[in-house]
């Protein structure tokens, strides 16, 4: 089985997409992450849901969980609902911190797909042919293919 | 909203569970990861799908993706289907490398839940009361709660 055969339709967002809409898309479609494309439609990054939370939660709360207690229940819900006017670009880590994008060619074998997901700790890999995103393979879909009941 | 109100029923596995069955459960139920409990039923780790791939893909292939090409299509599918007799314990990283388990109390606020997911890059957090796993909150469920359409 090759990557192009395992690829499923998968929504992409752009760097300038609205971050709130992107997060809603992820939640609504039950996606483990989103493929972010640059202006030319080429994959730029994969945005996992936990990265959105990293953007939303103040740094000092991430560093010291006890500080989360300064927010009561209501303030906590409100703080986190404020993605506001942020774009996907704002939410992504610094370009310097994106060491590798989980992308494979259409003719990649399952081990190549698994290797990139394992290395990047990514819940999905984008499948690309001729600079175009064909779709994505999720870890779950790959496990399902490799370990039939 | 408190963690106990957001917690959903979520399957747990034990350290001695069969790794193949655990991976199949993850794929079948479309789970982003599994809660692994110790012998006393307390959370020991969260096992994301990509960790199973890290266990399956030989280290030298993870380090140098080009080496994946030594496996043809069939060998690749076969290699990865060989979780064999491994247990969940085998698949987990070394205990020393598990720095923090994404676990929250039932009365944790949404920001506490988000903070632990963000810090550990986890797709879910286990919700625990009286040393018992009540259920789990996934990143998607949290985003869905925080960003209603």
Q: What is the pLDDT of residue A113?
A: 94
- Identify the CA nearest to B73 among candidates A130, A147, A5: A5
Sign of CA dihedral A89, A25, A124, A110: negative
The verdict on B26 touching A (C-beta cutoff 8 Å) is: yes
- Identify the CA nearest to A45 among candidates A118, A113, A106, A95: A95
Higher-pLDDT residue of A99, A129: A129
Domain coordinates in residue numbering, chain A: 3-146
Conformation bin of residue B84: beta by default, left when phi > 0, alpha when psi is -120 to 50: left
ipTM: 0.86
Q: d(Cα A98, Cα A36) in Å, to the nearest integer?
A: 12
Q: What is the pLDDT of residue B33?
A: 93
Does the pLDDT of residue B70 top 90, yes or no?
no
Taking only Cα atoms into account, the Rg of chain A, rounded to an integer number of angstroms, comes to 17
The model's confidence at residue A1, banded by pLDDT at 50, 70 and 90, is confident
Question: Over pLDDT 90: what percentage of chain B?
Answer: 54
Q: Determine the residue of chain A that is closest to B140 in CA distance.
A: A27
3-state secondary structure of A114: helix
Does the pLDDT of residue B53 top 80, yes or no?
yes
User: Of A9-23, A56-70, B26-40, which range is least confident?
Assistant: A56-70
* Mean pLDDT for the stretch of residues A99-123: 91
Q: Which of residues 73-112 of B touch A (CB under 8 A)?
A: 73, 76-77, 79-81, 83, 108-112
pLDDT digits 0-9 by tens, A50-71: 899 999 898 889 888 788 888 8
Higher-pLDDT residue of A103, A95: A103
CATH architecture of the domain formed by A3-146: Roll (3.10)
3-state secondary structure of B20: helix
Q: What is the pLDDT of residue B116?
A: 92
Q: d(Cα A23, Cα A91) in Å, to the nearest integer?
A: 10
pLDDT digits 0-9 by tens, A118-146: 988 899 999 999 889 999 999 999 998 88
The model's confidence at residue B73, banded by pLDDT at 50, 70 and 90, is confident
Q: What is the pLDDT of residue B86?
A: 92
> A33-37 and A12-14 as β-strands: parallel, antiparallel, unpaired?
parallel
Beta carbons of A57 and B147 less than 8 Å apart:
no
- Identify the CA nearest to B61 among candidates A112, A94, A102, A39: A112
Mutate to test the interface with B, among A30, A110, A122, A142 (most CBs of B within 10 A): A110
3-state secondary structure of B127: strand
Q: What is the pLDDT of residue B149?
A: 67
């Amino acid at each position: 089985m090759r990557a192009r055969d395992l690829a499923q339709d998968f929504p992409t967002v752009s760097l300038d997409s609205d971050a709130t809409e992107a997060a809603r898309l992820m939640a609504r479609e039950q996606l483990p992450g989103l493929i972010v494309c640059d202006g030319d439609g080429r994959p730029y990054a994969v945005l996992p849901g936990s990265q959105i939370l990293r953007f939303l939660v103040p740094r000092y709360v991430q560093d010291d969980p006890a500080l989360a207690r300064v927010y009561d229940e209501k303030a906590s819900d409100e703080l986190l609902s404020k993605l506001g006017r942020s774009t996907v670009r704002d939410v992504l880590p610094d370009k310097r911190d994106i060491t590798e994008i989980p992308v494979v060619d259409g003719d990649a074998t399952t081990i190549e797909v698994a290797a990139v997901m394992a290395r990047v700790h990514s819940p999905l890999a984008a499948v690309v042919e001729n600079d175009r995103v064909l779709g994505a393979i999720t870890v779950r879909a790959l496990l399902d293919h490799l370990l039939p009941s």
